[in-house]
Structure 1
Amino acid sequence: MKVLIISLNYAPEVTGVGKYSAELAEWLALQGHTIRVITASPYYPEWRIKAGYNALTYSTEQINNVSVIRVPFWCPKRPSGLKRVLHLMSFAVFASPAALWQIAWRPHAVWLVEPPLFASPVALFAARVASASCWLHVQDYEVDAAFRLGILKGHVARKLALRVERWLMSRADVVSTPSAAMTRLAVQKGVSSEKAFTFPNWVDTQHAHPNSTDNPYRAQLTIGHGALVVLYSGNLGLKQGLEIIVDAAKLLTWRADIMFLICGAGPAKDVLLEKARDVPNVKFLGLQPKERFNELLSAADIHVLPQLAGAADLVMPSKLGPMLSSSRPVIATANEGTELWSVINSVGVAVEPGSFTALSHAILRLADDPSLRERLGTLGRQYAASNFSKETILLQFEARLRSSVLGKRDLGDRATT
């Protein structure tokens, strides 16, 4: 098959959507498919264009048997509110000519990652003209998230945005999301159940696995062998509620054996650094190379996953799978009844969103109970292997993609007879 992927984020980004879009494209290429990707220059999560790339021009490159087309876009230094909307819109505008140019290539499928939903019209048009299947993959319901988190406001604006979203989603041949709750929401938004598909963010359990050897990060950060490390690793976003980690650390300064490690990059990093300036049990690390990913996960005794209540079932955190796969217990902030709560409540510890007191109590509970840490770590690893296996998930995706493409061909054949 020839597959055209439109994804704002892509390799060499090592976190978030870019990681998964690149792994998907490269896996499909290894299966013998021909893949072209329309994307932006790498910028995430630092919100700074990576050296060697230019966000003002079109360019092409070849990465692991995948043809990559880079398009211009606007990358704000401090993404918030209207700036984030304009950022997404800029990519959609400049990706449109590139997508239209690919119609002559006659792809069998056009695969678009949301956000940005703004790119849906050109993806739908290109797929229609090329007689291709159009697949929309929703990593984040950007419309709902923007209004729930206060980035966008107004009843009329919300009603109009949801109506446009509904119209666009209903016209895709397949709409997928990373979680069952998000897939149910897609159906509520007007996607027929036959078109809806759950496509989880996977984890390579061979790459993210338990490691009991001496950890180089502990030596690098001068963390003693007897200390317990509470780790958050990932994007440091302004709307994730990460301040709760520093607040919990402040409550636990009396425990000299508990150290907090915050690893990553993003617009909230300066805020967190300032908040933790006089907090002795908090250390920071920048974004780490993917080659050291497993070492980083294994540096933890406990993983924490803060999540704002307003975003509960609008996005399933992609970092959850690797955390569970590391055989370390996970504490997540999630309201009862959400999908994240259902997962964590069975293999980890779920606490009230926004409550640093509840988070600190959960940390103390695990810190003082090694057998519980081991049991939950084992359960988490088993859950990751059963539900987030890379090969299983991608084989199921490939089968559905083939089905969608064949279904589109059959419709075309009937239309011409």
Structure 2
Amino acid sequence: MKILLYTQFCTPEPIFKSVPFARELRRRGHDVRILTGFPNYPGGNVYPGYRVRWRQREEIDGVPILRVPLYPSHGESIALRGANYASFAAASALPLLAGWRPDVVYVYNLVTLGFLASLNASLRDVPYVMDVQDLWPDSVFQSGMGRPWMRAVIERICRRAYGRAARVVGLSPGMVETLASRGVERSRLRCIYNWCDEQGLPTQSGPAGPRPPGFEGRFNVLYAGNMGTVQALDAVVEAAGRVARTRPEVQFVFMGKGVMRHSLEEQARRIAPANTLFLEARPLADANAVMSHADALLIHLQSKPLFEFTIPSKTQAYLAAGRPVLAAVGRDASRLVELAGAGLGCEPGNPDAIAAAAVRLASLDVAEREAMGRRGTEFYHRELALGVGVTHWEEVFAEAVGHA
């Protein structure tokens, strides 16, 4: 098949549904090209080595890429974020509608691209598939960027984008159910779990390198990643304070950066100075080495209805890493961890529940925790890996072409 990946975000940005996806499809014999913008996510600044221009053709790992101009921005300004999305949509219209004609178009996440994909389907009889990673308008309003007048507009855009797609793919069962409740026909809905960045996975079993300072003699529950408002890690620090009274050897480790890091460190100094540890963000290989020494890996998001069917990308990475997982997150992510037999789920935002789950993991014998880690790795490679996911996507693309 000839497949166009139509995505505003692409390698070298940290988006695995771009070049790694295309590379695997090409390995299987498909003709795959990418239509994208100039890399500026997540900081909103164009990456070194690039400058915004009218067109730029390049090739990464054998994948042909056409870049078109956009307004680089990923800040909190509604106007600038809107300019970012609208500028890419406008600049990509001509190459989409008059350029290379694929058999099917894959649209990554943004419903702002759905209108053009549907227009392309009408004008050139090219079906498209929507990959829904964030549920709009819910995610827009959850981020604080929504305004009352925007809801009806976004809902109308969503109805068109989803309504004319040959297939609509959600990242979790709960997301698929929600899309169905909003009028997307079940016959066009599919669920395909995400995979993780497999190039960054540890290449050896067991701990890599020396034990990080501060880990010795502790049961280390590690959170690795962004420390923002959505992660709501203040509840985890509260849990550390509770655990310190009865199981002081259980230590909560926070590795990364984010807008909330400073306030979290201040909170930890006040209520859990003896059993919290903050590490700086580090390159992926070094972060994986630290993760290999953790006794458990923690996922946490705010307790919000939207996050009941959100599966944070670190879920797959944690399962693949082979360590027990403490999933203090919504329904679908917790169920995935429990289905794998790879850890424990608990209520997000509840310090008592988080503390109890951490103590329960610490109370297990080492053999049981190691078994959890092995089951997680096996589950990832059997159910979630890149090769598994791409096979499902091939099936969806074939259905879309047949549907047309």
TM-score (norm: length of structure 2): 0.85
Contact 2:41–2:74 (CA under 8 A) maintained in structure 1: no
Task: Give the whole-Å Cα distance in 1 for the aligned partners of 2:383 and 2:124.
Answer: 35
Shift of 1:320: 0.9
Does the residue aligned with 1:187 lie in a helix, a strand or coil? helix
After the TM superposition, which of the residue ranges 267-276 and 90-99 deviates more from structure 2? Answer: 267-276
Q: Evaluate the alpha carbon distance shift between residue 81 and residue 357 of structure 1 in structure 2; reply closer, same or farther with a 3 A threshold.
A: farther
Task: Give the whole-Å Cα distance in 2 for the aligned partners of 1:271 and 1:78.
Answer: 20
Kindly provide the amino acid, as one letter, of the partner of residue 361 in structure 1: A
Task: Give the whole-Å Cα distance in 2 for the aligned partners of 1:157 and 1:227.
Answer: 49
Q: Evaluate the alpha carbon distance shift between residue 204 and residue 5 of structure 1 in structure 2; reply closer, same or farther with a 3 A threshold.
A: closer
Aligned residue pairs, count: 396
Task: Give the whole-Å Cα distance in 1 for the aligned partners of 2:238 and 2:383.
Answer: 33
Matched, 1:26 2:17: no
Residue in structure 1 matching 2:178, options 180, 185, 204: 185
Aligned to 1:6: 6
Aligned to 1:241: 232
Contact 2:323–2:373 (CA under 8 A) maintained in structure 1: yes
Shift of 1:302: 0.8
Task: Give the whole-Å Cα distance in 1 for the aligned partners of 2:358 and 2:80.
Answer: 37
Kindly provide the amino acid, as one letter, of the partner of residue 146 in structure 1: V
Aligned to 2:307: 312
Shift of 1:214: 4.3
Contact 2:302–2:349 (CA under 8 A) maintained in structure 1: yes
Kindly provide the amino acid, as one letter, of the partner of residue 8 in structure 2: L
Aligned to 1:361: 356
Shift of 1:112: 0.7
Does the residue aligned with 2:345 lie in a helix, a strand or coil? strand
Contact 2:115–2:160 (CA under 8 A) maintained in structure 1: no
Task: Give the whole-Å Cα distance in 2 for the aligned partners of 1:217 and 1:83.
Answer: 45
Does the residue aligned with 2:64 lie in a helix, a strand or coil? strand
Matches within 5 A, 1:53-202: 53-55=50-52, 58-76=55-73, 78-79=75-76, 83-100=80-97, 103-114=98-109, 116-148=110-142, 150-154=144-148, 157-202=150-195
Shift of 1:239: 2.4
Kindly provide the amino acid, as one letter, of the partner of residue 362 in structure 1: A
After the TM superposition, which of the residue ranges 82-91 and 294-303 deviates more from structure 2? Answer: 82-91
Q: Evaluate the alpha carbon distance shift between residue 179 and residue 400 of structure 1 in structure 2; reply closer, same or farther with a 3 A threshold.
A: same
Shift of 1:226: 2.9
Matches within 5 A, 1:199-218: 199-203=192-196, 208=201, 213-216=206-209, 218=211
Does the residue aligned with 1:142 lie in a helix, a strand or coil? coil
Residue in structure 1 matching 2:317, options 313, 322, 327: 322
Kindly provide the amino acid, as one letter, of the partner of residue 352 in structure 1: E
Task: Give the whole-Å Cα distance in 2 for the aligned partners of 1:204 and 1:396.
Answer: 18
Shift of 1:391: 1.6
Q: Evaluate the alpha carbon distance shift between residue 314 and residue 339 of structure 1 in structure 2; reply closer, same or farther with a 3 A threshold.
A: closer
After the TM superposition, which of the residue ranges 349-358 and 339-348 deviates more from structure 2? Answer: 339-348
Aligned to 1:412: none
Unaligned runs of 5+ in 2: none
Task: Give the whole-Å Cα distance in 1 for the aligned partners of 2:219 and 2:38.
Answer: 38
Shift of 1:171: 0.5
Task: Give the whole-Å Cα distance in 2 for the aligned partners of 1:104 and 1:212.
Answer: 47
Task: Give the whole-Å Cα distance in 1 for the aligned partners of 2:364 and 2:44.
Answer: 40
Contact 2:71–2:87 (CA under 8 A) maintained in structure 1: yes
Q: Deviations over 1:120-163 (max 9, x none)?
A: 11122234333222111111113122234543243x64344323
Q: Evaluate the alpha carbon distance shift between residue 236 and residue 32 of structure 1 in structure 2; reply closer, same or farther with a 3 A threshold.
A: farther
Contact 2:7–2:35 (CA under 8 A) maintained in structure 1: yes
Task: Give the whole-Å Cα distance in 2 for the aligned partners of 1:271 and 1:94.
Answer: 41
Shift of 1:98: 3.8
Task: Give the whole-Å Cα distance in 1 for the aligned partners of 2:234 and 2:81.
Answer: 21
Matches within 5 A, 1:328-367: 328-335=323-330, 338-346=331-339, 347=341, 348-367=343-362
Aligned to 2:393: 397
Task: Give the whole-Å Cα distance in 2 for the aligned partners of 1:202 and 1:77.
Answer: 24
Task: Give the whole-Å Cα distance in 1 for the aligned partners of 2:74 and 2:195.
Answer: 30
Contact 2:297–2:324 (CA under 8 A) maintained in structure 1: yes
Does the residue aligned with 2:3 lie in a helix, a strand or coil? strand
Task: Give the whole-Å Cα distance in 2 for the aligned partners of 1:367 and 1:211.
Answer: 24
Does the residue aligned with 2:99 lie in a helix, a strand or coil? helix
Contact 1:109–1:127 (CA under 8 A) maintained in structure 2: no
Contact 1:211–1:295 (CA under 8 A) maintained in structure 2: no
Does the residue aligned with 1:194 lie in a helix, a strand or coil? helix
Task: Give the whole-Å Cα distance in 2 for the aligned partners of 1:83 and 1:363.
Answer: 42
Matches within 5 A, 1:222-237: 222-237=213-228
Shift of 1:266: 4.8
Does the residue aligned with 1:105 lie in a helix, a strand or coil? coil
Shift of 1:355: 1.9
Task: Give the whole-Å Cα distance in 2 for the aligned partners of 1:21 and 1:123.
Answer: 18
Task: Give the whole-Å Cα distance in 2 for the aligned partners of 1:260 and 1:11.
Answer: 33
Q: Evaluate the alpha carbon distance shift between residue 360 and residue 270 of structure 1 in structure 2; reply closer, same or farther with a 3 A threshold.
A: same
Q: Evaluate the alpha carbon distance shift between residue 213 and residue 67 of structure 1 in structure 2; reply closer, same or farther with a 3 A threshold.
A: same
Shift of 1:303: 0.9
Shift of 1:90: 3.6
TM-score (norm: length of structure 1): 0.82
Superposition RMSD in Å: 3.1
Task: Give the whole-Å Cα distance in 1 for the aligned partners of 2:194 and 2:71.
Answer: 27
Does the residue aligned with 1:43 lie in a helix, a strand or coil? coil
Shift of 1:407: 3.7
Contact 1:46–1:267 (CA under 8 A) maintained in structure 2: no
